[in-house]
């Protein structure tokens, strides 16, 4: 198990050297970015079991602020990252307090409505570029603009952020808070009767989740250098986070990363095969995967693998016993 982990970590570190191609380098960065977003969603949606379909709100804020401080103040986009996280945290409190009184489907509905409300507002607000969106610096003025031609610096930046996020998640899932989250996911009433402060721990999960989703948005606009309402706040942004996390396994540490490793290259392939019209096909594929996943493997691929390996080791056991004898 440890060997496997070291090999995979090594592969992630060496990836840019293994393929000396900007196209695949960019795809690698896209995979890591998607993994960051999905892992951030996973804290609230996977561990705490609150299925938000409005996480694009935090992603959008994270993506807009860096380009906003650049457009209006001429500051390096990086200056907006922390501000975006703070605004996202504030908004998370405002959204979280009322919506956390709602359960299950109702919560999901509410998060969609809030996200759509904000998307429409942003699309009609001239200060933030309305429907056209915002551009970043065309050419890097100083290194502080973090505008590189090669995808490799972004790749390692994203890898570092992802590593921090996974380390934090790993630590939290083993902590008291992690157990509370799983208790809440299993059932709020039983959790409350055991003395878990449900509202508080749901809010903690949302705050963490919102902060890292916002960070993912900032990293996106730093790399792409352009943002518009649809790519920042669009419902498909939220959907992408959910499907990636669910494909790998919601509520598991490496599920979102696994989901991103599978889905983003798939998306790149369909987009390049079918050209501009491919986006429609990509979402047909997304929809199909989600439906099949929900119907047959709600636990995601990691769960499938765990069960398969259990069955396999059970079958091997008698052999091992015979050897021992």
The runs of H, that is alpha helices, within 44-101 are 56-73, 79-99
Q: Is residue 110 a contact residue for other proteins (CB under 8 A)?
A: yes
Positions 49 through 88 that interact with other proteins (CB under 8 A): 49, 51, 53
| x-marked contacts with other proteins along 251-280 as a string, rule CB under 8 A | -----------------------------x
Among 5, 10, 190, 288, binds other proteins (CB under 8 A): 288
In terms of Cβ atoms closer than 10 Å to its own Cβ (0-12, 13-18, 19+), residue 263 is buried
Q: Compute the radius of gyration of the chain from its Cα atoms.
A: 21
| x-marked contacts with other proteins along 208-247 as a string, rule CB under 8 A | ---------------------------x---x--xx--x-
Least distance to other proteins, CB of residue 288, Å: 6
Least distance to other proteins, CB of residue 31, Å: 21
Q: Is residue 293 a contact residue for other proteins (CB under 8 A)?
A: yes
52 and 108 Cβ atoms separated by less than 8 Å: yes
Q: Is residue 172 a contact residue for other proteins (CB under 8 A)?
A: no
96 and 222 Cβ atoms separated by less than 8 Å: no
Q: How many whole angstroms separate alpha carbon 236 and alpha carbon 212?
A: 18
Least distance to other proteins, CB of residue 176, Å: 23
Provide the total of helices (H) and of strands (E) in the chain, helices listed first. 14, 2
Cβ-based neighbours of 77, under 8 Å, separated by 6 or more: 66, 67, 69, 70, 136, 137, 145, 146, 221, 222
Contacting positions for other proteins (CB under 8 A): 45, 49, 51, 53, 98-99, 101-102, 104-106, 108-110, 112-114, 116-117, 120-121, 124, 235, 239, 242-243, 246, 250, 280-281, 283-284, 286-291, 293-295, 298-299
């Amino acid at each position: 198990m440890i060997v496997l982990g070291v090999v995979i970590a090594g592969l992630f570190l060496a990836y840019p050297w293994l393929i000396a191609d900007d196209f695949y380098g960019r795809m690698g960065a896209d995979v890591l970015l998607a993994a960051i977003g999905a892992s951030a969603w996973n804290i609230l949606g996977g561990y705490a079991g609150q299925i938000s379909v409005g996480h694009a709100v935090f992603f959008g804020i994270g993506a807009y602020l860096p380009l906003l401080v650049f457009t209006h103040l001429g500051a390096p986009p990086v200056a907006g990252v922390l501000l975006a996280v703070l605004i996202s945290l504030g908004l998370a409190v405002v959204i979280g307090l009322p919506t956390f009184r709602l359960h299950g489907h109702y919560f999901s509905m509410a998060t969609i409505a809030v996200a759509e409300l904000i998307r429409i507002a942003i699309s009609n607000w001239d200060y933030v570029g309305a429907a056209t969106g915002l551009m970043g610096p065309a050419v890097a003025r100083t290194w502080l603009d973090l505008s590189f031609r090669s995808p490799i610096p972004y790749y390692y930046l994203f890898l570092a952020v992802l590593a921090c996020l996974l380390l934090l998640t790993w630590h939290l899932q083993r902590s008291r808070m992690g157990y509370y989250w799983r208790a809440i996911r299993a059932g709020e009433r039983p959790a409350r009767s055991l003395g878990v402060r449900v509202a508080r721990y749901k809010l903690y999960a949302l705050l963490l989740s919102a902060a890292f989703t916002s960070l993912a948005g900032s990293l996106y606009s730093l790399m792409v250098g352009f943002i518009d309402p649809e790519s920042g706040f669009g419902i498909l942004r939220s959907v992408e986070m959910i499907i990636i996390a669910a494909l790998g396994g919601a509520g598991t540490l490496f599920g979102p990363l696994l989901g991103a490793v599978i889905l983003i290259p798939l998306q790149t392939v369909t987009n390049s095969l079918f050209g501009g019209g491919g986006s429609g096909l990509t979402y047909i594929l997304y929809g199909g995967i989600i439906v099949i996943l929900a119907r047959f493997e709600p636990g995601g691929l990691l769960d499938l693998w765990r069960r398969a390996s259990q069955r396999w080791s059970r079958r091997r056991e008698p052999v091992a016993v015979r050897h021992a004898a």
